[in-house]
Structure 1
């Protein structure tokens, strides 16, 4: 049974969320709190919590500050409830340790089934986040998972033309960790799909651009690829054709748009053996097919290891499919990526 604390200053929103939780199998309401201070006190008193679902804007102590305090003494997963107007604070919350966020429904009087399905999926995924001691870090040796030989950065750099990256739950924090290690001048473009709603991707791209040395942009249709970092916009699939990024609103894949597979498939078709694909933390199996396409075209594939993932779903799907050359921790991917693009 997944035990959840719901934190929101709006009595109506608390009622909406708790009523939804009551209908979801395997989930139990552990309690409610009206502000961030009450949430911090509740988490301190209840060590058996599986998840905190917390509003961003609240009196006494807002969701961001409450999150930061909780993360000082607990590894309980925290999912933020965010309105579209809270984009910047939401991105900062993800950077500060929030597992994920759920965009509040635009019409809480008529919540759509798609929203409910996504809400439930995110709660289930976040609750499975590995609870680790706060200070624990460990190094793991690189692991080859196919019969293909593990290649050094030097070997891969010789003919490298691009790097593509896919991520979902836990991805924003992981991506910030990677992108901030890159040099100001890149030898190849780095192209990213992160599962994130429309509006939030622009804010996230701006956040990465502010913190990283190379230029980071939210992609636009027809954008010419340069040796910079590009992020797919929310609600659009992104593909590569003729050296440009193209956006479309074809049906969702794996329940999401943007999806990783369209980018990976198109990049493999365009760059062939001169491509490196990286799959990071996230729920589901998006990216596994695309990793297979990259490998089949002679490219090289890397997956994040279980211990450094927030949710191991996407990397695990690719590994189990047998389409990963190398499994690395997030810190090892950070080092390898920096070596590849300099």
Structure 2
């Protein structure tokens, strides 16, 4: 896989390039010091499989460069972001960046976990892009006997949503479909680092009619949307939100399974769960518990997923009642919460 690295810092370009070149089957085909130079490379040379794009650069910044790349090419883009650029990063995800990587705070002591997550994001996004001709197969494959045919509950008390790679843009679409007043609460876990979730909650709140809040420990559950903060797990018990920093599962905190399993215990057959785009298998065990207790489960289809990892795992595990496109999911959630 060939990658174009775009960053105005020569030091950061060197660090990122060295890291990438050590990863299996990855090669840095070129580097650029700003967006203008990156667009010139894309125009004049063989296109890479993926672009790593710094958020803040002179001459042509990351957002403007991203807009041009999305307009002209079908190349996935991962943003390189610092916490200080969190609002711009959320904007980039809304504009179509596949994901972002938070730059390590200490370049000289990069953790193995950070490198592993970086590699997994690149690999997952690339694999999804490589297999356009398998859409029909993947769509049909989950229709196994293990899928439980069940109708939507006549009474729903809550909706839980889990997402990872590609989730921010998908969640924005779902939120924009919702009315200003909800009949029930919605709880969301989006895999995202600490600090970025507050900006993302604000973005969803600003761009939709519905009220979206970043969850806080001890909050009384009301009829609005709650986003789990980064670096915490979120559970729901006795009408209150509880946050904790228990061990990561599936290498992530927050984890979808924590939310899904606790909500299953509380709402039982009056719960609907939605699993959106994302890499890995987080959410499958939570959906298993929701189904066991009589709830209803929905997964996003391959065609509209940025990475068909989490939904696919749940579908193949037989814990999904319905597979829908993103537009269909937005319409279904709207129908449920009105």
The normalised TM-score by structure 2 is 0.94
Alpha-carbon distance in structure 2 between the residues aligned to 1:226 and 1:325: 27
Query: Which secondary structure state, in structure 1, belongs to the residue aligned with residue 312 of structure 2?
Result: helix
Alpha-carbon distance in structure 1 between the residues aligned to 2:45 and 2:204: 35
1:125 deviation in Å?
1.6
Verify the 8 A CA contact 1:144 1:327 in the aligned structure 2.
no
Alpha-carbon distance in structure 2 between the residues aligned to 1:247 and 1:162: 18
Q: 1:101/1:147 Cα in 2 relative to 1: closer, same or farther (>3 Å)? A: closer
Partner of 2:172: 176
Partner of 1:103: 102
The normalised TM-score by structure 1 is 0.93
Alpha-carbon distance in structure 1 between the residues aligned to 2:271 and 2:143: 18
Verify the 8 A CA contact 2:238 2:266 in the aligned structure 1.
yes
Verify the 8 A CA contact 2:147 2:318 in the aligned structure 1.
no
Verify the 8 A CA contact 2:78 2:99 in the aligned structure 1.
yes
Alpha-carbon distance in structure 2 between the residues aligned to 1:147 and 1:319: 8
Q: 1:46/1:321 Cα in 2 relative to 1: closer, same or farther (>3 Å)? A: farther
* Structure 1 residue 167 corresponds to structure 2 residue 163: yes
1:127 deviation in Å?
1.7
Alpha-carbon distance in structure 2 between the residues aligned to 1:147 and 1:312: 18
1:187 deviation in Å?
0.8
Partner of 2:93: 94
Alpha-carbon distance in structure 2 between the residues aligned to 1:273 and 1:332: 22
Alpha-carbon distance in structure 1 between the residues aligned to 2:274 and 2:160: 6
Partner of 2:135: none
Partner of 2:305: 309
RMSD of equivalent CA atoms: 1.6
Partner of 2:240: 244
Verify the 8 A CA contact 1:79 1:126 in the aligned structure 2.
no
Verify the 8 A CA contact 1:75 1:132 in the aligned structure 2.
no
**Which deviates more from structure 2 when the two are superposed, residues 45-54 or residues 32-41?**
45-54
Query: Which secondary structure state, in structure 1, belongs to the residue aligned with residue 268 of structure 2?
Result: helix
Verify the 8 A CA contact 1:144 1:150 in the aligned structure 2.
no
Alpha-carbon distance in structure 2 between the residues aligned to 1:79 and 1:223: 34
Listed as ranges, the matches of 1:146-161 within 5 Å are 146-151=146-151, 155-156=152-153, 158-161=154-157
Partner of 1:40: 39
Alpha-carbon distance in structure 2 between the residues aligned to 1:149 and 1:109: 53
* Structure 1 residue 70 corresponds to structure 2 residue 66: no
Q: 1:175/1:132 Cα in 2 relative to 1: closer, same or farther (>3 Å)? A: farther
Verify the 8 A CA contact 1:4 1:30 in the aligned structure 2.
yes
1:126 deviation in Å?
2.0
Alpha-carbon distance in structure 2 between the residues aligned to 1:262 and 1:47: 44
Partner of 1:203: 199
1:291 to 287, 293, 316: 287
1:193 to 173, 185, 189: 189
Residue-by-residue CA offset, 1:128-151 (whole Å, 9 max, x unaligned):
233799xxxxxx99x966553352
Residue-by-residue CA offset, 1:67-102 (whole Å, 9 max, x unaligned):
000100112110000000000100000000000000
Listed as ranges, the matches of 1:302-341 within 5 Å are 302-341=298-337
Listed as ranges, the matches of 1:197-236 within 5 Å are 197-236=193-232
Verify the 8 A CA contact 1:64 1:93 in the aligned structure 2.
yes
Alpha-carbon distance in structure 1 between the residues aligned to 2:194 and 2:225: 19
Partner of 1:136: none
Query: Which secondary structure state, in structure 1, belongs to the residue aligned with residue 128 of structure 2?
Result: coil
Partner of 1:254: 250
Runs of 5+ consecutive residues of structure 2 not aligned to the other structure: 133-138
Runs of 5+ consecutive residues of structure 1 not aligned to the other structure: 134-139
